[in-house]
A and B are shown apart, each in its own frame.
Chain A
Amino acid sequence: MTDMQGRVTRPGPTLHRQVVAYAIAAVTTASLMSTTVYAQSVDLSQWSPDYIRSIAGTETFDTAGHCADVVPLDYTGRLTYWWTGPTEASPQIEHTINDEFWAAWAKTYPNIATDAQNIDYNQLLDRLRTTLLGNAGPMVVRLQILGGVEFASKGYFQELTPEDIGYPTADFWPGAMKSVTWDGVTYGVPTNNETMAMIWNADIFERAGLDPESPPATWDDVVTYSKTIHDKLGISGYGLVARQNAGNTPFRFMPQLWAYGGGALDEAEASPSYQDSYLDNDGAKAALQAAFDMYVRDKSVPTSALTNTQNENQSPFIAGQLAMMIAHPSEYAKMVDLAGQATGADKEVADTVVANMRYGLIPEGPARRAVVFGGSNMHFINEEYVEGGFDEQAAKAFACFWNSPEWSTKLAWTGSNPGNLAGFKTEWMKERLDTIKFLDVTTSMLPSGIPFPVIPEATEIMNIIVPDMLQNALTERMTVDEAAADAAAKVDALLGGGL
């Protein structure tokens, strides 16, 4: 007898014990659900684009007034903060909102001297690790959702819950709260939750003989569509990304892996134990084979995929040389910016691309539809590791301000969703929905979100081992089976305490 994962199970318990167990489970679930529904600002059980539109703009919030209850506005202190903010690849509107935030913060808490450093996404973790070794960290840091658990497990973070900065935990996605919890203790506040979508160029689809208004429904369709586009038009179909040691790679490959039934560990299961590697199961091999087919067999994706991050997909997409890619809602705003900068014949091409840009759900696989439940979390560093000492009141004031319904929404304007769910009820959310194209699509992907494993080894698995597996297969250094087995062995060795 086997269970759903094909594991051998013991002969079943008696019917009576099953009934009791189910009854307890049902009562517990109902209790949790009722608690959730009554405590939350929004009802997650109704989550849909229509529901989100119906609640947007129904409440107003006074950010300064609320934060004054947490820390008086005339408080005098100092704050050091590291985060990954807008970059050259970000649309202009993100830079504008970022400037507005810092102006508003300075105006609200004029006596808190602030030293904020905007650090590149791929460098922030390394830099934090190094400075913490020298007890020279910042007071507050915002890390990608994958990054925090390593530091929490090492004892670098302070306990921190939303209640500490004036917000109920129930106003944050349960999956997001899981990502800031280590060993039963909460070490942070989710600042934003992001899910991506499939973006395609309808004009290229039409010229390749595909339905311009329908994205590929399955990952098998992605392989087929990509080959069709490449064979008919001589351009790249799907924007595969497989660079080593870059977060962009797992954010695009893991949805495919999960869709086929694979996983790094069992993170896609309802109650993950994070004990065994799933990287060499049949689902993972099928996903890797699909990537191999696109890169090696069909040559229908960019040759430069092995050295590309998502940033390198933007130029070919706006030039009409790439048909599909996985990205944020902010990609549309970025393409509008790029089209605005183009001149002459390039301008005509870019305008055509923007006019034909479409967003759809990330394709399904045989097992499920999946997307990385991404985003970022805010953490407080323990005093002994902070350069110049920790100013608790300044840190709390800042965390309250940043994670307020207002700024949680504005700072996620084009890229993701507010970590504070109360943000969905604000006037600013209504403005977002009215002005940002395709926001509904990525918001609709949230219930399909799967968080990365909440274990200290997660960064190495996702940023090193998974990209390595892809590279080993795509360069034909190893066969698909060998690459999957090699990656699974590395994960097992890592979890077992080895190299």
Chain B
Amino acid sequence: MATGQAAGPPITRAARKKPNIVSRIIKHRADYLYVLPALIVMLVVIAFPIYYTIELSFFRTPPNLQMKDKIWTGLSNYSTVLNSSVFHEVTIQTIIWTLASTVFSFLLGLGAALSLHREFVGRGVLRALLLIPYVISAVAASYVWKWLYHSDFGVIGAISVALGFTDEPINFLDNRQTVLASLIVVNIWKEFSFAMVMLMAGLQTVPDQLHRAAMVDGANTWDRFWHVTFPHLKGVSMVTILLLMVANFNSFIIPFVMTGGGPADASHIWITHIYQLAFGRQQWGVASAYAVILFVVMMTLGYFYVKALTRGDENRAGG
């Protein structure tokens, strides 16, 4: 069937040029009117705070001045943050916190998802039990863990002494060497079930006939996992890992409630440190500069997240 396009004259560059954005808005004005309320809300609750944070990052805010009387300091807040030894220490802690929480949550979630993928008696109950940490309030969980870990009267320390593993209760939270690892364990406990749910959904997409064919070909359990299951989980794994990383970078409740960043800054991560600078010390300008740096990191992670999500679409479009 011939089309008008094929029968007509060749299309020139000018004729192929897309209409500009104003023309498109005018042409689709009704559509834009429908989404206008949502756009206004987004501008107010997202765009303005971002703009204001960036603006504040160029000012100093002494405790005896109102925000409207802030003093212009240019890039000095960024310089203060980046040259601060505490910032370097907190950055290392943030990286350890994020990577350790993400990797171990993912691996634990993967193990749980693979175990629960098989049919066995009580699978539903076990799946529900493993979801409890994810659905429980983070604040409540933090208080419970705080008492489990308590350096003088904690349950874990008492059991450890009763079983003869240690002579005195283990100092989990009041020790600079152990506090971050202790909080990471709580974080992994809290979020591994999120990875489990995501990966269980991914496992549903693995065709059963592939497994059967591999078994016929003599593949063992590991071979079937590595060559059949895992390739099908790559996409969902990438998304899960990126979501976990973003969540962990922004994780606030567990370190804030359990230690407030202490002792002596040993459990501060970027977000709790920003909070302390802003609300504890009222260094709004420095805290804003810090937040802008965090924002850039998060946007970078977000870029890769979107790329991972749309990779399949691009391949299909290009293919």
Contact = CB atoms under 8 A, between A and B. Distances in A.
A154 B70 CA distance: 11
Given A154-B64, A499-B80, A244 B262 contact: yes
A133 B67 contact: yes
B176 to A, nearest CB: 5
Interface in B133-180: 146, 150-153, 169, 171, 173-176
B174 A307 contact: yes
A129 B151 contact: no
Nearest to B62: A497
A492 interface: no
Interface stretch (B207-215, B279-287, B308-316): B279-287
25 contacts: A126-B280, A130-B279, A150-B282, A154-B63, A154-B64, A156-B66, A246-B260, A302-B151, A303-B152, A303-B171, A304-B174, A306-B263, A306-B264, A316-B153, A321-B153, A456-B64, A457-B64, A459-B63, A460-B63, A468-B264, A471-B263, A472-B264, A475-B264, A477-B264, A499-B286
Interface of A: 126, 129-130, 133, 150, 153-156, 236, 243-246, 302-307, 315-316, 321, 456-457, 459-460, 463-464, 468, 471-472, 474-475, 477, 497, 499
A464 B278 CA distance: 12
Contacts of B266: 475
A304 to B, nearest CB: 4
Nearest to A457: B63
Contacts of A321: 152-153
Contact of A306 (B63, B262, B276): B262
B109 interface: no
B176 A475 contact: yes
Given A303-B169, A456-B64, A499-B80, A464 B280 contact: yes
Chain B interface category by residue count = 35 or more
Interface of B: 60, 62-67, 80, 84, 146, 150-153, 169, 171, 173-176, 258-264, 266, 276, 279-283, 286
A126 B169 CA distance: 35
Contacts of B175: 475
Nearest to B84: A499
A243 B276 CA distance: 14
B262 A471 contact: yes
B174 A306 contact: yes
A460 B280 contact: yes
A129 B287 CA distance: 15
Contacts of A154: 63-66
Q: Which of A130, A156, A245, A306 has the most CB of B within 10 A?
A: A306
B152 A236 contact: yes
A299 to B, nearest CB: 9
Contact of B261 (A130, A244, A475): A244
Nearest 7 A/B pairs, CB to CB: A303-B151, A306-B263, A153-B64, A471-B264, A456-B64, A456-B63, A304-B151
Given A154-B64, A307-B173, 9 more contacts: A153-B63, A154-B65, A236-B152, A244-B261, A307-B259, A316-B152, A475-B175, A475-B263, A477-B176
Contacts of A468: 264
Given A304-B174, A305-B174, A475-B176, A243 B63 contact: no
A243 B174 contact: no
A149 to B, nearest CB: 9
Contacts of A304: 150-153, 173-174
Nearest to B157: A303
A460 B174 contact: no
A129 B84 CA distance: 26
A245 B63 contact: no
Q: Which of A156, A244, A302, A497 has the most CB of B within 10 A?
A: A244
Given A245-B280, A460-B280, A499-B286, A315 B153 contact: yes
Contacts of A307: 146, 151, 173-174, 258-260, 262-263
A236 B169 CA distance: 14
B140 to A, nearest CB: 15
